[in-house]
Structure 1
Amino acid sequence: MRLLGRLLLAAFALVMAVPAGTLALAAGVFLDPSFREAFGRLGLVGLMAGLTDLADGIPPEVAVMAAFGLAQALGLLLILPPTLAALFGETLGLRSPIWYAAASGGLTALLPWLARGGAAPPSGSEAAAAEARFAAILLLAGAVSGLVYWLIAGRSAGIRSRDETGSA
């Protein structure tokens, strides 16, 4: 019965942690000066017009596959790191907020570099600076999701109830 309760608590904590990480990622992108400047130059109207123009020239099945690919990439980026951190934390009985924040944040920040598969990083100081800023934003988003998980379920990971330990 205790295992079922832990599984439900962990699932609920992950359901809360993923949107928190998503909000942190969105806030980081919109608060970063260079990303904000790019969105300001483009504007929401320009973005919608560009998407409409792009969609006019793309067959529907290609547009659906592109949207599916984007959703898959975001899912991998926002769901996998806190899930892996939670899995290892629960298995090893780790209760440290530092573990959940560092594991989830570090994995989130490393995923784009791991997905690149050893390809050369962008050349030029501006490209390297933009990639470093984006990695910092991903680190923050992952750390937020890890801490939300810890607040809900990680604090009690590995704690056995008094009935199981035999003490009164």
Structure 2
Amino acid sequence: MDGGKLLFQLFKIVCGFIAGLIAAGVFLAWGFFLPGPPDQDPVVFATAVGSGLVGASVIGAAALVPATVVIVIAEIARLRGLIFHVAAAGAIAFLLWTLGPEGASANAGELRPGSAVALAAGFLAGAVYWLIAGRTSGSWQANSAHKSG
């Protein structure tokens, strides 16, 4: 194990997690406010971005524990695939959305309204995380095949 590589990977994990949360939060806020270009209505644009940052902190508080479990598994198993990270983040987002406050869906057994949007936000967060840290998962571990002689 290379301590420098581990420290750098931990830094990338934190940055990737935060960037993924911001991407998901801004994605959700953007859909809510539907702002145009910043020069058309700067107040709505600023409100969407600010609201996205607040949303990112709420999402982060809810997703921290399941995301940490998935990140640890990915690091130990050296899971570097885009599909794994996107699917895992989508699953976390969908589960958090589904396990939300009771009575949020119209009928038992039906998906809550907005489930597809929550899933898309999770997919986006996973893709952003993969770009920053996921594609190098486990790179800090020593290679199992050592050259001898």
Distance 1:75 1:31, change over 3 A: closer
* Higher helix fraction (1 or 2): 1
Retained in 2: the 8 A contact 1:121–1:128? yes
Equivalent-residue separation in structure 2 for 1:105 and 1:12 (angstroms): 23
Sequence identity, in percent? 26
SS of the equivalent of 1:105 reads helix
Cα RMSD between the aligned structures? 3.5
The corresponding residue for 2:18 is: 19
Structure 1 runs of 4+ aligned residues shifted over 4 Å read none
Where does structure 1 lack aligned partners over 5 or more consecutive residues? 38-42, 48-69
* Alignment deviations for residues 89-108 of structure 1 (CA, whole Å, 9 cap, x no partner): 12122232222222233213
**TM-score of the pair, normalised by structure 1:** 0.56
Distance 1:96 1:132, change over 3 A: closer
The corresponding residue for 1:59 is: none
Equivalent-residue separation in structure 1 for 2:100 and 2:112 (angstroms): 17
* Alignment deviations for residues 27-62 of structure 1 (CA, whole Å, 9 cap, x no partner): 312332xx125xxxxx87xx9xxxxxxxxxxxxxxx
The corresponding residue for 1:122 is: 105
Equivalent-residue separation in structure 1 for 2:117 and 2:127 (angstroms): 15
Aligned residues: 129
Amino acid across the alignment from 1:36: F
Return the offset for 1:17.
0.7
Retained in 2: the 8 A contact 1:93–1:159? no
Equivalent-residue separation in structure 2 for 1:138 and 1:93 (angstroms): 21
- In the TM superposition, 1:1-168 aligns within 5 A as 2-32=1-31, 35-36=32-33, 73-114=58-99, 116=101, 119-123=102-106, 128-151=112-135, 153-154=136-137, 156=139, 160=143, 165-167=146-148
SS of the equivalent of 1:156 reads coil
Equivalent-residue separation in structure 2 for 1:108 and 1:143 (angstroms): 13
**TM-score of the pair, normalised by structure 2:** 0.61
The structure with more radius of gyration: 1
